[in-house]
Amino acid sequence: MNWTCEQIETRLSEYVDGSLDASALSAFEGHANGCQRCAPLVARVAGIVAQMHALEMLAEPPQLAEQILARTLGPRANKAKRSGVLDWFRPMIQPRFAYGAVSVLVTFGVMIPALGIDWHKPKLADLRPINIYRAADREAHLVYARGAKFVSDLRVVYEIQSRLRPETEPQSAPDNEPQPTKSSPSGTTNGPQKNPRGLNRARQFSSAGVVLASAVPGACERISP
């Protein structure tokens, strides 16, 4: 069946919406594809409809919902005021502000004891520059002295350990080696000669360790296993 241009125009929307049945679709396309008047019209309408379907809805004014609610439920001044106050604090409720706040607290936690200010009994005199200077100087010297003592202790312990270690290692090594023949009466093998010398050296260092340990309180526990 051949359709006329008027029929094409009348049923154009059905074609665009895809609601034509198979025979009508074939008749529609049979005419529209070959008609110089209808083909551009069909393409234009189909294109415009597709573009309109793709258009997103415009955003409503931000205050619209509040205005409607105010006109229907009455003024909601309290809620608005409350939300206004909350708006001030809203930027603070985020991780970067929390990190900043924690770092400030930690800084104060370190600085205030260092400046000699007592948390429990704060005094106005604590804020005087000379007192702050003295407290800071005292704290700095104390920290330096504690650090120096700690390094010195470490050095002693290391010294003791490094002196004891060479004796324990060579002694354990011969255990794995094959034992020298015990039947040799002449004692020509190296084993019997080595052991007494090693024992002497061990005794020597052990006594030195006891002396050092008595000089350094607390080192005793580290030396004795």
What track of x and - describes contact with other proteins for positions 69 through 88 (by CB under 8 A)?
x-xxx---------------
Which residue bears the tokens 């008047």? 37
The distance of closest approach from Cβ of residue 90 to other proteins in the complex, given in angstroms and rounded to an integer, is 19
State in Å, rounded, how far the first CA of the chain is from the last one: 109
As a whole number of angstroms, the distance between CA 163 and CA 31 comes to 107
Using rule CB under 8 A, residue 64 touches other proteins: yes
Using rule CB under 8 A, residue 18 touches other proteins: no
Applying CB under 8 A, among 33, 37, 44, 170 the residue interacting with other proteins is 44
Residues 140-159 within binding reach of other proteins (CB under 8 A)? none
Angle (deg, nearest 10), helices 129-176 and 95-114: 100
Token pair recorded at residue 183: 């039947």
Tell me, rounded to whole angstroms, the distance of Cα 86 from its chain centroid: 29
As a whole number of angstroms, the distance between CA 139 and CA 112 comes to 11
Residues 163-192 within binding reach of other proteins (CB under 8 A)? none
Q: For other proteins, which is the closer residue by CB, 14 or 126?
A: 14
Which residue bears the tokens 């529609």? 28
As a whole number of angstroms, the distance between CA 115 and CA 117 comes to 6
All residues at 6 or more sequence positions from 16 whose CB lies less than 8 Å from its CB, including other chains: 45, 46, 49
The distance of closest approach from Cβ of residue 92 to other proteins in the complex, given in angstroms and rounded to an integer, is 26
Applying CB under 8 A, among 24, 25, 27, 45 the residue interacting with other proteins is 45
What's the number of CA atoms in the CB half-sphere (13 Å) around residue 196?
A: 3
Using rule CB under 8 A, residue 22 touches other proteins: no
The distance of closest approach from Cβ of residue 47 to other proteins in the complex, given in angstroms and rounded to an integer, is 2
What track of x and - describes contact with other proteins for positions 85 through 104 (by CB under 8 A)?
--------------------
Applying CB under 8 A, among 4, 5, 37, 48 the residue interacting with other proteins is 48
Total residues contacting other proteins (rule CB under 8 A)?
Answer: 33
Using the rule CB under 8 A, give the single segment among 68-76, 127-135, 179-187, 197-205 that binds other proteins.
68-76
Running DSSP on this structure, what letter comes out for residue 186? S
Using rule CB under 8 A, residue 52 touches other proteins: yes
Applying CB under 8 A, among 57, 124, 125, 211 the residue interacting with other proteins is 57
Using rule CB under 8 A, residue 41 touches other proteins: yes
Helices in the chain by DSSP H: which ranges?
5-10, 12-17, 22-32, 38-54, 64-73, 77-89, 95-114, 129-176, 191-215, 219-223
Running DSSP on this structure, what letter comes out for residue 183? T
As a whole number of angstroms, the distance between CA 40 and CA 3 comes to 16
Q: Under the rule (CB under 8 A), what is the footprint of other proteins?
A: 9-14, 16, 41, 43-53, 55, 57-61, 64-65, 67-69, 71-73
